[in-house]
Structure formats: structure tokens, C-alpha cells
Chains A and B, each alone.
Chain A
Amino acid sequence: MPETTFLDSSELVLNMGPQHPSTHGVLRVILKLDGEKVMGTECVIGYLHRGVEKIGENRTYQQFAPYVDRMDYVAAVSNGLGYCLAIEKLLNIEAPPRAQVTRVILTELNRIASHLLWLGTHALDIGAITPVFYCFREREEVLKIFENYCGARLTTHAFRIGGLQYELYDGFEEQVKAFCDMFLPKVDEYEELLTNNRIWVARLKNVGVLMGDECKEFGVTGPVLRAAGVKWDLRKAQPYSGYEQYDFEIPTGQNGDTYDRYIVRMEEMRQSVRIIRQAVDKIPTGPIGKTPKVIKPPMGEVYVSIEAPKGELGYFVVSDNSTQPYRVRVRPPSFVNLQALDRMVRGGLVADVVAIIGTLDIVLGEVDR
């Protein structure tokens, strides 16, 4: 008989995922537990790896554009915007004003859709069943706008290098305005369900604290960074697509905990509505941009990044003056943010791991690419 058995060991290794409803995809987390306490974690990722960067080297600039939608598939419009901006920078061109304003509207709508999906699933993970139905109901309205605009709901490929492919459809402004009017009271409704809910507060307050210095150390961006009190948003810091013309706030938290991240994202949805309302009132007339038939940027390399719903989404593109990129590197916010998971769960309870994975708002399609 062995002298010690696993029962004597104070450390228990528990495998969470890859098939686990709360890991939002195929994330495997190996947890080292002491009772209910998490002593350490290891993330096993790559289950959704499709080699997007390699595909990029084997496609022309235009052909690669639909692929980027499939990384963060709940915020496909943001992915597309970042890619188009990167190639436009490489070509040293800019989309015409009408295209830029349309891009802002659709990207902000997508931010709302992405945050709604996060809110619904995050609440579901924690045990609040109701919000997910409400969130999906409103998200559907956003997807309808996308569908009317370009025919696709999720992987939209809405933008083209140099501008837009499609003119706005009749009734676009009205539909967007109607959505904004309908949506703002709904955010209050979600908040009524959750913000002061005792169970919600108890599960979220002081859970998964990540302060500003730690965020910077790990390169964590987006709502997670802002909830730690760092007022930094690329739309303000280094505006692109004419974001400097819009009047909006950067919501921040103080405690860097799961609850603050929730508050920040809720407020971000309201700010997105604010941006959309301003933009929709002043869609300029004019061309929507012409996509060049052959894209052959001069030799060079650029790094362009945007504020995606999850954080800083960057594209590093190297051109060798051919029709295919020599190298496309995607700097995915989810991948970088996920690295902080270990720091956030260590010392906490195993039940909080689910809350913390939810609050990081990762999409495994983007983590693995």
C-alpha cells in the first residue's frame, strides 16, 4: 500500500474545461486548489487556433479582410475596422467622411452588441438567468441593422479598404435612432435588475481585483484597465475615424474589481449610444470611398490599433510591395488580457474563477486566432 494517497495531499488539481459552459468557448484552466482556495492556475489555449496570421500571408489584402471577422466573432465590425485602418495607413490613404461616420456608427453598435453578449453570459455564469434574455432581445435589434446594411449578422465584413462597399439603405438613420431611443431605458432596466442586487454585489465586489499598475505590467487594456481607474481609451488618446469630433466620456472605476468592470461596461453602452446619436445626425453626403482593385502598398511596416470592445486591438502589417501582406500580426486584446487571469484568481475562491473569466470578457476565437 502506498504510504501517501491523494487524500493526504493538501493540493488538489482540478481541470476546468475545455468543454465548460462558463469558459465562453474552449478554454481549459487547470486549477490547483487547497480546499476551496485557488493556489494557482494554468491556462491551456489554442483549441481554436486556425493560423489566421499564416492565412494572411497567403491571401491578397482584400481576400484577408473577411478572415479577421472570425477572430472576435462577437465584435466582427471592430476587427474589420482595425484591419481596414491598418491597410489604409500602409497605403497612406483615408476613407471619405461619409464612410468614416458610417464606420463609427456601426462600430459603436457593435460595441453595444458585444457588451450585451458579455452582460448576458456573465450574469448567467453567476446565476442570474433573466438578463440574458433581455440582452439577446436588444442585441437582436443591432444585428438586424447589420443584416439590413450588409446582409450578414455576425461576421459582417462591413467595411472595405478605402471606405465602404455599400451605400446606406433607406431608413438606416430612422432605424438607428429608434434603436437608441429604445435602448437607453433598457440599460436602466438591466441596472435595476443587477446593480443593487444583493447577490450580484456579494458575488462581484472585491472579486478578481487588478489594479492599474498590474494592468500595465501585463498589458491589459479596455474596460478592465479603466475599471482600475486608468482613464485611457484609444478613441480619446489617439483618435481614429474622426472620434475626436464626438462628445463622450470615458467611464472609469476605482477598485479594479469585477463590480467596477461591470459598472464601466454598462456606462460604456450609454456612451456608445451618445456617440451614435451624434454621428447619425451628421452623416455627410458624398462618396463612400472606392476600393482599389489592386492593392500593392509600398514596402514598409505599420502598427495600427483601435479600441475594440475588449481592449486594444492592433494590426502590425509588413508589406513587401506585392499584393499579399508579407506578414500580418494581430495583437489580440483577449489573449493579452487572459494572461492576467492567474494573478486575478490566485488566493480567491474556486467559485470566483467563473466570475473572473466572465469579467475578462474574452472570446476564444480571438485568443487562439
Chain B
Amino acid sequence: MATAPWDGEIPTQLRERFGDLITECATYLGQNFVVARPDAVIPILEFLKLEADFDYLVDITAVDYPNRPERFELFYILYSFERNERVRLKAMIADGAQPQTAVNVHAGANWLEREVFDMFGIQFAGHPDMRRILLPEEWEGFPLRKEMSIVQQDDRWVKENLGIESGQ
């Protein structure tokens, strides 16, 4: 990714405050993002909300890179009404790691984190209601992990329910 360094008030403040916990502050195609250690995510969200007016949590999502030791990239997209600016916070976590929930900072994180759990199997520690949200409770596996293939799932379903080969 051809990123440019992001300099300005916010990255300077963040670096001052969190030091080594911030690994990168950069810009890609005009969009600013911060890469941080997973344990710093909640303090950073808090700091951005209270001291930099990033009071609107737009989205939480994840991306799966199965070949990396820390296979998930967790994204928090924030917006500030006051500054009319967006910032993306990114943290790498390993499979089975339990990042802290953001519900206490932004109430809207509740369903968003449930969806991340539902799709990727990332458990958020301290979440008040860590259950599946879109898929049924008895669903096996986490569909947005890369090893889950659409075709395999379809094959299995056809075999179990219709007793034939799906031929896909």
C-alpha cells in the first residue's frame, strides 16, 4: 500500500500520549489511519472521543489474513462532526485473542462487535451480549474467515439434506 506519513495535530498528540503503542500514522488516498497495539485501542478511542471530538463510531469490522501470525486486522472507523474528519484505527490481533469491547466508549459498538464475532469469531472481552446476531445460534463456523468457502458449504448442505452430489 503506497501510504504517505500523516502529520498533524492528532498524530502528534497520539504519539505523545501513547508512544510505542502507536505503530503507524499514515494516509492512503487522502484517508487517514492509525495502526495501534490491540491493548491501546480502547484508550485511543476514549482519547479521540473526549479530547479530539471523534464522537461518532461509524463502523467496526475486520479483515482476515490467514497466513499472518496475527491473522485479523480489526478496524474502527471514526468521524468527528466538529472537525468533519474521518480517521481509521487499525489493530492486528491473533486468532483467539480477545480484544476489549468498545461498548463503554460508544454504545453503538454493541451490534457492530456482535457482527464481527458472528462473521469472524473474534470474541470481545467485556461485551454485554456476545452472541451471534445475523446467523442462527446453532450455526457452525465463521463465514467471513477465508477458509470458509462458499462452494464447500453448499456441497455439504446438498449432501446432508438432499443426499446427492451438488456437482459444483
Contact = CB atoms under 8 A, between A and B. Distances in A.
Nearest to B107: A217
Given A232-B81, A331-B59, A335-B115, 12 more contacts: A45-B133, A45-B134, A49-B135, A51-B150, A57-B144, A217-B108, A314-B58, A316-B59, A316-B61, A331-B58, A339-B108, A369-B134
Interface of A: 45-46, 49, 51, 53-55, 57-58, 89-90, 92, 216-220, 230, 232, 237-238, 298-303, 305, 312, 314, 316, 318, 326-327, 329, 331, 335-336, 339, 368-369
Interface string B50-85: 000001111101011000000000010100010010
Nearest to B90: A301
Nearest to B81: A232
B58 A46 contact: no
Contacts of B59: 303, 314, 316, 329, 331
A46 B118 CA distance: 11
A368 B134 contact: yes
B116 to A, nearest CB: 10
Contacts of B111: 335-336, 339
B29 A302 contact: yes
Chain A interface mostly: mixed
Contacts of A92: 29
Contacts of B112: 336
Nearest to A212: B81
Interface in B136-168: 136, 143-144, 148, 150
A101 to B, nearest CB: 23
B144 A300 contact: no
A327 B1 contact: no
A327 B63 contact: yes
A363 B61 CA distance: 21
B77 A303 contact: yes
B106 interface: yes
B135 A316 contact: no
Given A232-B81, A312-B58, A327-B63, A218 B107 contact: yes
Contacts of A220: 108
Given A329-B59, A336-B111, A216 B77 contact: no
A303 B148 CA distance: 25
Contacts of B63: 301, 318, 326-327
A301 B28 contact: yes
B133 A46 contact: yes
8 contacts: A46-B132, A46-B134, A55-B150, A57-B144, A218-B108, A219-B57, A303-B31, A369-B134
> On chain B, which size bracket covers the interface?
35 or more
Contacts of A300: 1-2, 28-29
B127 interface: no
Nearest to A329: B61
A305 B58 contact: yes
A364 to B, nearest CB: 11
A300 B28 CA distance: 8
B56 A298 contact: no
B119 interface: yes
B86 to A, nearest CB: 7
A216 B111 CA distance: 15
Contact of B143 (A51, A238, A298, A336): A51
Contacts of A326: 63
Given A89-B29, A318-B63, A327-B63, A54 B108 contact: no
Contacts of B110: 339
Nearest to B129: A42
A60 to B, nearest CB: 15
Contacts of A219: 56-58, 106, 108
A92 B31 CA distance: 12
A90 B110 CA distance: 29
Contacts of B57: 219
Nearest to A89: B29
A51 B153 CA distance: 12
Contacts of B133: 45-46
Contacts of A336: 108, 111-112
B86 A303 contact: yes
B114 to A, nearest CB: 10
A238 B85 CA distance: 9
A237 B136 CA distance: 38
B77 A314 contact: yes
A89 B29 CA distance: 8
A316 B77 CA distance: 10
A90 to B, nearest CB: 8
Nearest to B111: A339
A54 B28 contact: no
A89 B61 CA distance: 20
Nearest to B88: A303
A115 to B, nearest CB: 23
